[in-house]
Amino acid sequence: MSRAVDDLLAILDLEPLERNLFRGRSPQVGWQRVFGGQVIGQALVAAARTVEGRLAHSLHGYFLRPGDPKVPIIYEVERIRDGGSFTTRRVVAIQHGQAIFSMSASFHVDEPGFDHAAPMPAVPGPENLPIEAQVRESVLPLMPDPVRAYYERERPIELRPVEYTRYTSREPMEPRFNLWIRATGALPDDPAVHQAVLAYASDMTLLDSSLAAHGRTVFERSIQAASLDHALWFHRPFRADDWMLYAQDSPSASGARGFSRGSIHTGDGRLVASVAQEGLIRQRLDLA
């Protein structure tokens, strides 16, 4: 297991403080605010710690304030309902006495039913794409200093973009983006761990797809970007340490907000999760 994956699992392993109350920490990597995927993943872990015998099938969260990476995050879980088939939880993440994130999550017993799924897009496999180190050479010099410092470190999620040239050009393109993702080391077999890791990774690059039609990226100094809300549905079992295709598109951008959707498929084409997100994509005119 890579050290970065060890660190991620440690971050997702929340400290229990009291019944329904947990504490999470943030990696000290120089970011001015907490990565949104970290808060989603930790909130899902907090909710799952109060549920027995069922896995999450959906979550819906709102980012309310920027998180401070210098201090712990307190996660308070409200047990909304424990039903025969479904369990509902509400989680509030708190820092400095204020809510920074709010999430509802639903858990479902494993049961059979109708089955169909949209096909995976026809794209090159990860073995036919440049490795992340090669992409970094062309993309890193274009990033703001704090973002570049983060991507220069060993990270727990490996990304292999299919249309990676969009980061080296300002040419507008169709608002679609595909990339292969996986944890950079083996994960424990617990399915709840794989869900939390995928929740963490699901916030990566999704908002950026809404800027593709405009030839811009969230890495530019002149773009102020932030996730506003995030929804994730789990459809089928998966392993987050195997390659998965994250197929993204953006149907709309208006009013300084971009809306993006994602479908996550295993390497053999199974649709395992769907994502939707709206985020702030504001152009800073002083730096345009």
* Residue 104: active-site member: no
Note whether residue 77 is domain-resident.
yes
Least trusted range by pLDDT, from 87-101, 123-137, 267-281: 123-137
CA distance 226 to 239: 28
Note whether residue 124 is domain-resident.
no
Domain with 137 in it: 3-110+130-283
Note whether residue 119 is domain-resident.
no
Catalytic residue among 202, 227, 248, 250: 227
**pLDDT tens profile 199-250:** 999 998 899 999 999 998 887 888 999 999 999 999 999 999 999 999 999 9
Band (145; pLDDT cuts 50, 70, 90) = low
Catalytic residue among 106, 195, 210, 277: 277
Q: How many domains does the chain have?
A: 1
CA distance 104 to 57: 11
* Residue 38: active-site member: no
Backbone angles phi, psi at 218, to 5 degrees: -70, -10
Catalytic residue among 203, 208, 241, 249: 203
**pLDDT tens profile 90-125:** 999 999 999 999 999 999 999 999 999 999 999 999
Note whether residue 74 is domain-resident.
yes
DSSP-derived 3-state class of residue 143: coil
CATH number (domain holding residue 159):
2.40.160.210
Note whether residue 117 is domain-resident.
no
pTM: 0.92
Note whether residue 203 is domain-resident.
yes
CA trace torsion 54, 34, 3, 58 (10° rounding): 20
CB atoms within 10 A of CB 154: 10
* Residue 203: active-site member: yes
Note whether residue 278 is domain-resident.
yes
Q: Which two tokens stand for residue 174?
A: 């169709």
Band (285; pLDDT cuts 50, 70, 90) = confident
CA distance 104 to 83: 16
Note whether residue 288 is domain-resident.
no
